[in-house]
Amino acid sequence: MNDLLRTIKPAVFVGSSRTDLRSFPGKVRQEVGQALFEAQLGDYPAKAKPLKGFGSGVLEIRDNFEGGTYRAVYVVRFEGVLYVLHALQKKSTKGIATPQRHLDLVRQRLREAETLHKAIKGAKI
C-alpha cells in the first residue's frame, strides 16, 4: 500500500538537457529514463553516482552503449523537484573524466535550477 502512496517528484529539464537526452540511442534513453524515474520516486538508482566536485545531491547516471559513454546529470537537493541539468555523450579520449566545459555547463545550470526553484517556491507561498 505504501508504494501506491509514494509521490513522484516532477522532473524539470534545464537548458537543452531534454533535447540532448532525446538524441541518445533508444536503449540508452530507456536506461537513463528508468534511472531518472527511480530518482523521482525518491530511490537511489543503481546507475547513479555522485558527481565529483558538486557536493551532495548532484548525481550522474552513466550508461555505455556500442563503445560510447552517455551521461545524464541531475540534482535532488531541492525539495520536491528533480532537476535534470545536463545530458551528454562523452567523446573525450583523455580518460574517464568529464570534460571541463561540461562541468562548467553543469555549474551554470545548477545555478539556474536554484533560481528557478526559489521562484517556484516563492510563488506557492
pLDDT tens readout for residues 93-107:
556 677 788 899 999
Q: What is the mean pLDDT of residues 1-24?
A: 85
- The domain ranges of the chain are 2-124
Backbone angles phi, psi at 80, to 5 degrees: 80, 0
Reduced to 3 states, what is the DSSP secondary structure of residue 89?
strand
| % of the chain residues with pLDDT over 90 | 68
The strand order across the sheet containing 11-13 reads: 11-13, 82-90, 68-75, 58-65, 48-50
Distance CA 26, CA 24 (A): 6
Q: Is pLDDT of 4 > 60? A: no
- Whole-number pLDDT of residue 125: 47
The pTM for the full model equals: 0.87
Per residue in 13-29, pLDDT tens?
A: 999 999 999 999 999 99
CATH 3.60.20.30 is right for the domain spanning 2-124: no
